[in-house]
Amino acid sequence: MKISKALEKQNKERPVAGMTGKLDDHLYMYHMPYSYTAEQIRKIRTQIFHLSDRPIPRVIMVTSSVPAEGKTIVASNLAISIAKSEERHVLLIECDMRRPSLYRVFSFPRSPGLSEIIQGKASIEDCLVKTPIDKFTILPAAEVPPSNPSELLESRKMASVIKEVAMRYNDRFIILDTPPIQATVDPKIISSQVDGIIVVARYRYIKRADFEAALENLPRDKIIGTVLNAVDEIPATKYKYKKYKYDKYY
């Protein structure tokens, strides 16, 4: 069967991770899979797979209280970690339509994504970004930030997109990287559509009051844990990068 020239052109134009440069150095599960930090990410994965009070969550939201706590890097490393486990596929969906950043982390051109799918301007298949990690795919947020992101996320189409990508493969995990809780209403909207929530908190950065206020805006029964990010537990002379620590939240 011959592929039309139009389809060949479309396939060539589809973004692929690494097209515009090197993948971000903070993707430890990709660049340094045997490092101390990568091992902490594996511990988070293990905790998720062995929750004692609920089934394994397949649709997981990763968020933070305020900006600059490292939630996107945590979500990305966690997604890679799950993809590297046996027989598990992962789709990382970027839900921050206001300030997309995955295209910088994974070095691919700005391209249509979740926003265009919800608006009916593109299909899921047309927006998926391949990565050099086997069984790991990315769905970016938007090529052009929309004027009404909260309304798009609250629409029935958003719920149907999550349901469709989750139902397509029984072994697929969906990781949703959302905006900070204190910055927008988006995480609260998305929280109703997920199985579990992980809240990232940056050590010596986030104020306790802001963290507690953020938790009040989330359904407590869906919070499966918190990740304390940027904890220097090992001497800097031995490990020159950030650390992650997982704590079950009660």
Distance, CA of 128 to CA of 234 (rounded, Å): 38
What pLDDT, on a 0 to 100 scale, did the predictor assign at position 250? Answer: 28
What pLDDT, on a 0 to 100 scale, did the predictor assign at position 235? Answer: 45
Please indicate, yes or no, if residue 20 is contained in any of the structural domains: yes
Q: Can you give the residue range of the structural domain that contains 199?
A: 13-247
What pLDDT, on a 0 to 100 scale, did the predictor assign at position 124? Answer: 95
Please indicate, yes or no, if residue 220 is contained in any of the structural domains: yes
Please indicate, yes or no, if residue 67 is contained in any of the structural domains: yes
Please indicate, yes or no, if residue 119 is contained in any of the structural domains: yes
What pLDDT, on a 0 to 100 scale, did the predictor assign at position 9? Answer: 46
The CATH code of the domain that includes 163 is 3.40.50.300
Please indicate, yes or no, if residue 144 is contained in any of the structural domains: yes
Distance, CA of 153 to CA of 63 (rounded, Å): 15
What pTM was estimated for this model as a whole? 0.87
Please indicate, yes or no, if residue 5 is contained in any of the structural domains: no
Full pLDDT tens readout for the chain, 250 residues: 343 444 344 445 789 999 999 999 999 999 999 999 999 999 999 999 999 888 999 999 999 999 999 999 999 999 999 999 877 899 999 999 999 999 999 999 999 999 999 999 999 999 999 999 999 999 999 999 999 999 999 999 999 999 999 888 778 999 999 999 988 999 999 999 999 999 999 988 888 999 998 899 999 999 999 998 877 654 433 433 344 454 543 2
**By C-alpha distance, which of 243, 244, 226 is closest to 62?**
226
Helix axes 36-49, 71-84, angle to 10 degrees: 70
- Note whether 28 and 37 are within 8 A (CB): yes
Please indicate, yes or no, if residue 8 is contained in any of the structural domains: no
Provide the domain count of the chain.
Answer: 1
What pLDDT, on a 0 to 100 scale, did the predictor assign at position 206? Answer: 86
